[in-house]
Copies of this chain bind each other. A is one copy, B any other.
Amino acid sequence: MEKRIAVLPGDGIGPEVTSAAVKVLEVIARRFHHSFEFVHGSIGGNAVDTHGTPLPDETIALCEKSDAVLLGAVGGPKWDQNPAETRPEKGLLKIRKHFGLFANIRPVKAVPALLHRSPLKEELVKNVDLVIVRELTGGLYFGEPSKRDHDSAVDTLVYTRTEIERIVRSAFDLARMRRNKVTSVDKANVLQSSRLWREVVEEVRAGYPDVEVEHQLVDSAAMKLITQPEAFDVIVTENMFGDILSDEASVITGSLGLLPSASIRTDGFGLYEPVHGSAPDVAGKGLANPAAAMLSAAMMLRQSFGMEEEAAAIECAVQTVYEEGHCTADLAGPDVRPMSTEEWTARVAEEV
């Protein structure tokens, strides 16, 4: 197949990890006889520096002509004091909204070789295998009015039935490919939007009699992610709750540095990025762990291009290299010599 992939390295360690992922994708292309064209664009803080905006029109145009987007990370202390419109994160929010990427998919799966790094007791997390499906283009992030004056400020949490229905359906469809369980998280005892949310979940479930459904309040979900993380299969929730819960979930197994994410819509187009941030303190030193970027590339192959075998090849290679005991500095124990980003990437590429 021929595919054009927009690569947006972003800030901090973004360039290192995306270039590692691209190397692995090139190996995949050779081995499976595909042709991947990589086109590069800017986003985030560096785009603010060069174009005065965190999401230049050129970048949007480039993504529009591509089949999927691979993103590194955005942000850094340099731009933290900027006004809202020229903050790196705004680039991320805009690209999500512009392309209608309403479903943020974040799998969290325990990696046996990394369990010792979990802050939780190993017996609680060793079988964790969950996916958070977060609504990404609605709610408090985009509702109007969103404004302030000297004495007060207001943000608006608004959802339409249509917005809720499409994300809830994504979650049910995903559950069918997994363990057939959906946990819908809301705050229906307080919020009107949550009551509508719960109603729509109840309607949608009628079409999925094979899927088990559970409603959970966001506060108890925040507890249960810690006390019984293995109880979850697919979690679906609105934008802000999803932001909080998916970050919480990302640290429970100790494998944050390995977690990929996808932001997708229904036609297959999507943006793929590591869950970790831009880590400006370690940028450019060969210390970055490119595993999450590679696994994000694997998600892209599977979800946007339907290349199941190719995706699995990357996932297996990453796992094999970990099992051999090779890792980058972030995961190295006291008596392991860590590999540089490049060495580790080369090892994975070989394995693929």
- A residues contacting B by CB (< 8 A) are 84, 87, 89, 93, 118-121, 124, 140-141, 143, 146-148, 150-162, 187, 189-193, 195-197, 218-220, 222-223, 225-227, 240-241, 243-248, 250-252, 256
Contacts and interface: CB of A to CB of B under 8 A. Distances in A.
13 contacts: A93-B190, A118-B121, A119-B121, A120-B226, A140-B190, A147-B192, A152-B158, A154-B157, A187-B240, A222-B222, A222-B248, A226-B226, A241-B244
A113 to B, nearest CB: 18
A312 to B, nearest CB: 29
B153 A195 contact: yes
Contacts of A162: 151
A153 B159 contact: yes
Nearest to A242: B219
Nearest to A118: B121
- What 6 A-B pairs are tightest by C-beta distance, nearest first? A219-B247, A153-B196, A222-B248, A153-B193, A155-B157, A152-B160
Contacts of A193: 148, 153-155
Oligomeric state, in number of copies? 2
A226 B243 contact: no
Contacts of A219: 243-244, 246-247
Contacts of A227: 119, 251
A80 to B, nearest CB: 9
Contacts of A143: 154
Given A120-B226, A187-B240, 8 more contacts: A120-B120, A152-B160, A155-B156, A218-B244, A222-B247, A223-B248, A223-B256, A226-B248
A244 B225 CA distance: 12
Q: Main secondary structure on chain A at its contact with chain B?
A: helix
B191 A155 contact: yes
Contacts of A124: 119
Contacts of A187: 240, 243
B119 A153 contact: no
Contacts of A252: 226
A99 to B, nearest CB: 18
A222 B124 CA distance: 19
Nearest to A225: B248
Contacts of A157: 140, 154-157
A143 B155 CA distance: 10
B245 A222 contact: yes
A192 B148 contact: yes
Given A247-B220, A251-B226, A191 B152 contact: no
A116 to B, nearest CB: 10
A222 B244 contact: yes
A155 B189 CA distance: 13
Contacts of A250: 223
A119 B159 CA distance: 35
